[in-house]
Amino acid sequence: MKAAVIVFPGANCDRDCKVAIERSTGARVDMVWHGDTALPDRLDLIVLPGGFSYGDYLRCGAMASLSPVMAEVKAAAERGVATVGICNGFQVLCEARMLPGALLRNEHLKYVCKAVELEVTNAQTRFTAGYAGRRQVAMTVGNGEGNFFADDPTLDRLEGEGQVVFRYLDNPNGSARGIAGIVSGRGNVLGLMPHPDRAFEPELGSADGAILFQSALASA
């Protein structure tokens, strides 16, 4: 199995993601610089990590969404390659119009960093199949702009079509309808604010994030 982690200037979770994927799945992980114009061949998974790409100038994820490598990320996703955006990576996916909605300032205008409990609202996606009958998992959040927003028709569509994958049990950001993670209509692009890369071993407080990476690669 083969994965790639995209490295943007200002990213700070790229190596976390590499280690989490390697230890969780045994997959080979390549680090790909944002200025590259090609991806490694035969990828099974692409991860856009958390951090502060381009210093969060303009809008979180806006500048990173225009990086040269993103044209190849979009093309790979259109071919069906599993693609995950975590925290800042979720913001990049929304700015790149690979997922609907936007991530706004947190409701109380404060940075939030803590463990969170999540409801698995759809365990039949390629990213959540490994959770099987489990309805509750634990990860962590660390963001100042994790407040997911979309208009009501979009939210209704996301919920009606099973695209809401994770929901906060105690909404720390003020996200619309408690949404913590969504998938694309085709089901191969996932964006989530909680960090599975910070919850892949019991020593970190939870190993629930490992199941997400395992599910994504098992589906390939």
Here the tokens at position 131 are 């959770």
CA dihedral defined by 182, 138, 48, 13, rounded to 10 degrees?
Answer: 160
Q: Find where tokens 């996301």 sit.
A: 158
Return the sign of the alpha-carbon dihedral for residues 90, 96, 101, 104.
positive
Q: Collapsing DSSP states into helix, strand and coil, what is residue 23?
A: helix
Work out whether strand 112-120 and strand 136-143 pair parallel, antiparallel, or are unpaired: antiparallel
Quick check: is 113 catalytic?
A: no
Q: Which of 13, 17, 60, 87 is catalytic?
A: 87
Tell me which DSSP letter residue 189 carries.
E
C-alpha–C-alpha distance, residues 64 and 96, integer Å: 9
Q: Find where tokens 């089901």 sit.
A: 187
Angle at 80 between CA 77 and CA 84, to 5 degrees: 50
Quick check: is 195 catalytic?
A: yes
Give the catalytic positions in this structure. 87, 195
